[in-house]
Amino acid sequence: LTVQVNKPGAPIQKTMYGLFFEDINFAADGGLYPELVKNKSFELDEHLLGWRGIRGAAALTTYTVSSQQPISATNNHFLRMTAATASPDAGFINEGFRGMGVKQGGEYTFSVYLRQGPGSVSGLNVILEEGRAGNGPEAGPSGKVLAQTTITGLTSAWKKYSVVLKSSGTAERARLKLTMEGAGTLDIDVVSLFPKDTYKNRENGLRTDLVQLLKDMNPGFLRFPGGCIVEGRNLTERYQWKETIGDVASRVPLVNRWNMEFKHRSTPDYYQSFGLGFFEYFQLSEDIGAEPVPILNVGMACQFNSAELAPISGVAAGGPNASSSHNHEDDDPTLETFIQDALDLIEFANGPASSPWGAKRVAMGHAAPFNLKYIGIGNEQWGPQYLERYEPFMKAVKAKYPKMNIVSSAGPSPDGELFDKATQRLRELNAEVIDEHYYAKPEWFRQNVGRYDSYPTTGSKIFAGEYAAQSVAIGSPDNKNSWDCAISEAAFMTGLERNADKVVMASYAPLFAHVDAWQWTPDMIWFDNLKAYGTPNYYVQKMYSTNPGTTMLPVQRGGNAKNGEDNLFSSATADDKTGEIIVKLVNYSTAARPVTINLQGVKKLGKTGKATILASNDLNAVNSLEQPMNVAPKDESFKVKSSNVTYTLAPNSFTVLRIPGKR
């Protein structure tokens, strides 16, 4: 191999390797967003989802949909408990998200709104207890008590109460029990049990271990909130960012677009609380050092579902500023509503405190702008209906914010052409970044390593916005995060890096999955209620994103062999900040492979290099909660004797070499 250190190519963009976040597989509620109470506000159509009455329940009225002074206009359902006689073990249990994960000595803030009704209820008993197997409605009546307290001092007006519970034990599937002291009526709303241990100890913060796994990747960007979830199965159920900011208790939940994919659940068990909303996404991006890349609905529901379209002309009821709630059946937005949402989002992220939307950001505690530079128009959409909406949308954004980089959608790609009509039109419209998605067999990734070799160096750039090798088939529940998939992605990514003048962003998808609540495989990070692990695919991504370099370097193979020939894949960059040459090598073969790397024109060569090696002899190898590091990178040093660096690649391995040397 010859690395042409003296013929440097394009700069590697800071955004080159990033993250795609979608609320699928319990990624937000039940995952990154650590609220332990499911359906805390009783606002879903199935008002008692996640709750069930326990002994003495006959004496309880389950809930009331009240017009009698609810907490707020958007939070107008609450649980009314009524007991004719005092019944110490009568109350309600919340099952959490496949249980509640609590740790011994861990502190959890319990908060609730209470209002005393007729009778003599003197308090609310709050009991955190171990659950029984299953922890759903089938779970047993009670388990070991982990923490307990009683809230007193009730009043006849709504009042918020807050108390910290300290768990005496560790449980993956704990649950919360609420019972009344005395007989009478008690109104209950916005029940929350939130760990004090959150990333940066934030109130309404995020699950520490999961954020840390993301931060460890040094991601260039964070794309959110999806995925098909942006579009919704129909427009009424689309993602509306304005509904996800402000007071957490007033955010109206929505059935998750992926709920239907739970084959074993017919009730809407998966919903979005929006506790992790757009403010929190921006804050997370900042925390992990990633550029925020929000993707907005272009005025189309998911083309794989209803394909519902927003009319292009006409003004939505209430004017273009109308922010129609997803709870309003008469919601009939035109394209103008979607465009205005995008303009308002930019103002929310970047505007001064004196601007209406900037003021809302400031009120939420972030006076400085989030410095938003990218905005996506539509997720995975294609064809004339997309272009008809994209063009006026893009022009309106550019008219007001000429420097905003727009990410345009290209639909799912592997079976399609790189240059289909829509892509051509997007290029004619000078789209900055075109977002391609490919889910395909591992061999597709190895065979298509040259996908971007002939893509023009001028004009629109590429965002490989969603990709993952599928071990069985796209959408198969049997897909595994196997080493074969991961090493094939590593091989493909050498092609992205070699074309870093054309491909400026790339992200694996999906990001997260709960081991007991998923709809899609494979996924990069798996977790239960207490633990998490990175898959081999995670380590491939991490090895790229923590070793990006600053400048692309051309790599030549002896005998003019192409990248990937004989199952050897390679790419190289210079890291001008550290004074190193970074070479990435994939040996997709069962034999060890000695390579000589000629660093052509290198200056100031050092003596010791660092190799990071991800390898397994078993292409079916996977990681798991029990064996999280079965396939994990190992570091070693190696001698650099001359500008002809020799190194032996392990069988079936992905290796990153960092060689001290300047260009």
The nearest distance, CB 97 to ligand AHR, in angstroms, is 20
Rg (CA), the chain: 27
Question: Residue 509 CB: number of other CB atoms within 10 A?
Answer: 24
**Site for ligand AHR (CB under 6 A): which residue of 9, 31, 226, 660?**
226
232 contacts ligand AHR (rule: CB under 6 A): no
**Residues 334 and 315 sit within 8 Å (Cβ to Cβ):** yes
How far apart CA 464 and CA 163 sit, in angstroms, is 46
Contact assessment for residue 492 and residue 484, using Cβ atoms and an 8 Å cutoff: no
Q: Tell me how many degrees the CA angle 379-476-525 measures, rounded to the nearest 5.
A: 65
Q: Please list the alpha-helical segments (H only) found in 448-570.
A: 483-498, 536-545
Could you give the string, one character per residue 110-139, with x where binding to ligand AHR holds by CB under 6 A and - elsewhere?
------------------------------
Q: Does 489 bind ligand AHR (CB under 6 A)?
A: no
Q: Is 497 a catalytic residue?
A: no
Q: Which residue is nearest to ligand AHR (CB)?
A: 227
Tokens linked to 476:
């198969």
Which runs of E-coded beta strand occur in 350-502? 374-377, 405-412, 433-440, 461-469
* Minimum distance from residue 463 beta carbon to ligand AHR (Å): 13
Rounded to whole angstroms, the Cα distance separating 90 from 656 reads 60
* C-alpha separations of 206 from 195, 212, 363, 538 in Å: 9, 10, 20, 20
Q: Is residue 58 helix, strand or coil?
A: helix
- Do residues 597 and 581 lie in contact, with contact meaning Cβ atoms separated by under 8 Å? no
End-to-end, the C-alpha distance of the chain in Å comes to 17
CA 451, chain centre distance (Å): 27
User: Where in 300-359 is the site for ligand AHR (CB under 6 A)?
Assistant: none
Q: How far is the CB of 485 from ligand AHR (least distance, A)?
A: 15
Q: Which stretch binds ligand AHR (CB under 6 A): 147-155, 180-188, 221-229, 650-658?
A: 221-229
Which pair of structure tokens corresponds to residue 202? 């934030």
Backbone angles phi, psi at 232, to 5 degrees: 80, 160
Least Å distance between CB 446 and ligand AHR? 21
Q: Does 379 bind ligand AHR (CB under 6 A)?
A: yes
**Residue 601: exposure state from Cβ atoms within 10 A (0-12, 13-18, ≥19):** middle
Number of residues forming the site for ligand AHR (CB under 6 A): 12
Residue 270 contacts ligand AHR per CB under 6 A = no
**Per-residue interface string for the shown chain with ligand AHR, residues 604-643, x marking contact by CB under 6 A:** ----------------------------------------
Q: In what order do the strands lie in the sheet with 374-377?
A: 19-20, 221-224, 291-296, 374-377, 405-412, 433-440, 461-469, 503-508
Give the shortest CB-334-to-ligand AHR separation in angstroms: 24
Interface with ligand AHR, residue 523, by CB under 6 A? no
Please pick, among 380, 432, 497, 580, the residue that the annotation labels catalytic.
380
Binding segment for ligand AHR among 91-99, 223-231, 245-253, 549-557 (CB under 6 A)? 223-231
Nearer to ligand AHR, 27 or 552 (CB): 27
- Residue 106 sits in the site that holds ligand AHR (CB under 6 A): no
Amino acid sitting at position 148: Q
Our CB check for ligand AHR shows the closer of 350 and 423 to be: 423
Q: Given the complex with ligand AHR, which of 195 and 232 has the nearer CB atom?
A: 232
Q: Is 243 exposed, middle or buried (0-12, 13-18, 19+ CB in 10 A)?
A: buried
Convert residues 418-437 into a mask of x (bound to ligand AHR by CB under 6 A) and - (unbound).
-------------------x
Minimum distance between the CB of residue 509 and ligand AHR, rounded to whole angstroms?
Answer: 4
466 sits near ligand AHR (criterion: CB under 6 A): yes
Nearest CB to ligand AHR, comparing residues 122 and 379: 379
Tokens 């090598």 correspond to 585
CB of 529 to ligand AHR, least distance (A): 23
Residue 295 near ligand AHR by CB under 6 A? no
Nearer to ligand AHR, 129 or 308 (CB): 308
User: Is 204 or 297 the residue whose CB approaches ligand AHR more closely?
Assistant: 297
- List the one residue from 33, 390, 393, 520 that touches ligand AHR (CB under 6 A): 520
19 within 8 A of 511, measured Cβ to Cβ: yes
The smaller minimum CB distance to ligand AHR, of residues 348 and 512, is found at 512
Question: Does residue 509 bind ligand AHR (CB under 6 A)?
Answer: yes
Q: Distance between CA 146 and CA 165 in Å, rounded?
A: 9
Residue 406: CA atoms inside 13 Å, Cβ hemisphere, count?
Answer: 27
CB atoms within 10 A of CB 429: 15
CA within 13 Å, CB half, 206: 23
Of 43, 280, 341, 380, the one binding ligand AHR by CB under 6 A: 380
State which of positions 4-23 bind ligand AHR (CB under 6 A).
22
Is the Cα dihedral 415, 229, 479, 305 positive or negative?
negative
| Residue 28 or 509 with smaller CB distance to ligand AHR | 509
Residue 410 as a binder of ligand AHR (CB under 6 A): the answer is no
Closer to ligand AHR at the Cβ: 35 or 380? 380
HSE (side-chain half, CA atoms, 13 Å) at 484: 14
Instruction: Single out the segment in contact with ligand AHR by CB under 6 A; choices: 40-48, 140-148, 225-233, 641-649.
Output: 225-233
Verify binding: residue 227, ligand AHR, rule CB under 6 A.
yes
| Residues that are catalytic | 380
Residues within the interface to ligand AHR (CB under 6 A) = 22, 24, 226-228, 379-380, 437, 466, 509-510, 520
